[in-house]
Structure 1
Amino acid sequence: MKTLQGKYIGLRALEPEDLEFLYQIENDESIWELSNTQTPYSKFLLEQYLENAHKDIFEAKQLRLVITSLEHKTFGLVDIFDFDPKNKRAGIGILISNPEDRDKGYGSEALSLVIKYCFKHLFLHQLYANIDEHNVKSLKLFETQGFKKIGLKEDWNFNGISFSNEYILQLITN
């Protein structure tokens, strides 16, 4: 089996055709809190981003992969960020964009695939994730894949009304 191909989903690089999908996600205010976004993105800026998405992770220090079904339906995104090849670590974020596609195992399979990719092809020693304490489903998803809570950042995120805590989770390979 290919590293980025699972039983039900696959991960692939961004394509120019993903512009509308990215535009919808980046401008969906309901998920801005998850990505610490505060302003909308124009199609022009996203086109520029897509033009540079071909850059190697070693140069860009990040990689965004699209989660698709085997029939090429787009489900969401996986981000590898803060890529640090010297210290062999990176951060991981995942989003299943449509609420109707959540809780069907796509996120779990995508996370499993990206973990294997990071350890096998990027030769990383550890991955980490930052997850709001109230995002119980994401905490469970990452813990199911072997991530451990290693710390709590108190009053870390402000949603315009109140502060919330954020866990940092870590997965270290043997």
Structure 2
Amino acid sequence: MHLRALEPEDLEFLYALENDPDIWGVSDTMAPVSRHALREYLAHATADFYVVRQLRLVVTTEIGGVPVGVVDLFEYDPLHQRAGIGITVLATERRHGYARQALALIREHARQALRLHQLYATVGVDNQPSMRLFRAAGFRRVGTRQQWLRTPGGWQDAVEWQCLL
């Protein structure tokens, strides 16, 4: 498994990923995303991490380099050298270890190349797979935000995870 930069050829992959309503609750998405909007996004996706304060990398298979997910660093804070992290894997590719491997690679990249001090994640209490993922990756549960996430079923608590690099 590898992490790579976004390419214009990722349009259809991103379209499928971003328009999966099952992940809208964890990605703060409320409506489908158009191909046009994604084309515009891809045209500017190479902007410098330190300028735009976010980074999205594509998670690919070891053989063939097939895209299976994305890992995001966002809300980069240069003073405190931290960023939020999120991982999304296509529904058909889950439970193959891609998220675990991607998290290990992005942690190393964040520490070595980006010189970050810490990463943090916010996970809905009902998202048990993500809770297990971050715990297994060495993140520490540091708190719970009450009624933090609005879901179709009502308000949901969110668990905060932190990893010192």
TM-score, normalised to structure 1, is 0.91
Q: Is 1:103–2:103 an aligned residue pair?
A: no
Matched residues in 1 for 2:98 and 2:11: separation?
Answer: 22
Q: Secondary structure at the match of 1:171?
A: strand
**Residue 139 of structure 2: which of 143, 147, 166 is its match?**
147
Q: Which residue of 2 aligns with 1:12?
A: 4
Amino acid at match of 2:114: L
Matched residues in 2 for 1:125 and 1:32: separation?
Answer: 29
RMSD: 1.0
Q: Which residue of 2 aligns with 1:72?
A: 65
Q: Which residue of 1 aligns with 2:150?
A: 158
Identity %: 41
Segments of 5+ residues of structure 1 without an aligned counterpart are 1-8
Q: Secondary structure at the match of 2:109?
A: helix
Which deviates more, 135-144 or 111-120? Answer: 135-144
- Residue deviations 1:85-130, cap 9 Å, x none? 22100000001113x3212211111000000000001101110001
Q: Secondary structure at the match of 1:45?
A: helix
Amino acid at match of 1:159: T
Structure 1 residue 83: Cα displacement? 1.0
Pairing 1:36-51 to 2, within 5 Å after superposition: 36-51=28-43
Segments of 5+ residues of structure 2 without an aligned counterpart are none
Structure 1 residue 139: Cα displacement? 0.8
How many residue pairs are counted as aligned between the two chains?
164
Pairing 1:82-93 to 2, within 5 Å after superposition: 82-93=75-86
**Residue 112 of structure 1: which of 93, 99, 104 is its match?**
104
Matched residues in 2 for 1:47 and 1:92: separation?
Answer: 23
Which deviates more, 43-52 or 154-163? Answer: 154-163
Amino acid at match of 2:13: F
Matched residues in 2 for 1:36 and 1:42: separation?
Answer: 16
Matched residues in 1 for 2:86 and 2:153: separation?
Answer: 24
TM-score, normalised to structure 2, is 0.96
